[in-house]
Amino acid sequence: MAPLIDARILVVNAGSSSLKLRVLDQQNEVLLTTDLSAEHGRFDRDEVDRALSGIGEIDAVGHRIVHGGTFFRDAVLIEDEVKNKLESLSSLAPLHQPPALAALDLVSGLLRRVPHIACFDTAFHASIPQAAATYAIPEDWRRRHAIRRYGFHGLSHAYAARRAAEMLHPSVEELRTVTCHLGAGASLAAVSGGVSVDTSMGFTPLEGLVMATRSGTIDPGIVLWLQQQAGLPVDEIDEALERRSGLAGLAGTSDMKEIITRADAGDKDARLALEVYVHRLCASVAAMVASLGGLDALVFTGRIGERAPSIRELVGERLGWLGVALDSRANETSHSDADISAPGAKVRTLVVESREDLEIARQVRALVAGSG
**pLDDT value at 4 more than 60:** no
Beta strands in 80-238 (DSSP E): 116-120, 176-182, 186-192, 195-199
- pTM of this prediction? 0.94
**pLDDT value at 370 more than 90:** no
Dist CA 105 CA 109 (whole Å): 6
Q: At what angle do helices 256-264 and 268-292 cross, to 10 degrees?
A: 120
DSSP classification of residue 136: S
- Report, as residue numbers or ranges, the catalytic residues: 121
**pLDDT value at 5 more than 60:** no
**Residue 20: which of 46, 43, 53, 54 has the closest Cα?**
43
Architecture of domain 9-120: 2-Layer Sandwich (3.30)
Beta bridge partners of 42: 39
- How many C-beta atoms surround the C-beta of residue 53 within 10 A? 9
Query: Helix (H, G, I), strand (E, B), or coil: what is residue 197?
Result: strand
**Residue 23: which of 367, 357, 368, 355 has the closest Cα?**
357
Dist CA 141 CA 159 (whole Å): 33
Query: Count H helices, E strands: the chain?
Result: 15, 12
Please list the residue range(s) of the chain that carry CATH number 3.30.420.40. 9-120, 164-351
- How many C-beta atoms surround the C-beta of residue 133 within 10 A? 18
Read off the pLDDT of residues 118-176 as tens digits, 9 standing for 90 and up.
Answer: 999 999 999 999 999 999 999 999 999 999 999 999 999 999 999 999 999 877 678 99
Read off the pLDDT of residues 36-82 as tens digits, 9 standing for 90 and up.
Answer: 987 777 888 999 999 888 788 899 999 999 999 999 999 999 999 99
Dist CA 54 CA 63 (whole Å): 19
Give the CATH number of domain 164-351; options: 3.40.605.10, 3.90.1150.10, 3.30.420.40, 3.40.50.720.
3.30.420.40
Query: Helix (H, G, I), strand (E, B), or coil: what is residue 186?
Result: strand
Query: Helix (H, G, I), strand (E, B), or coil: what is residue 180?
Result: strand
Dist CA 13 CA 62 (whole Å): 9
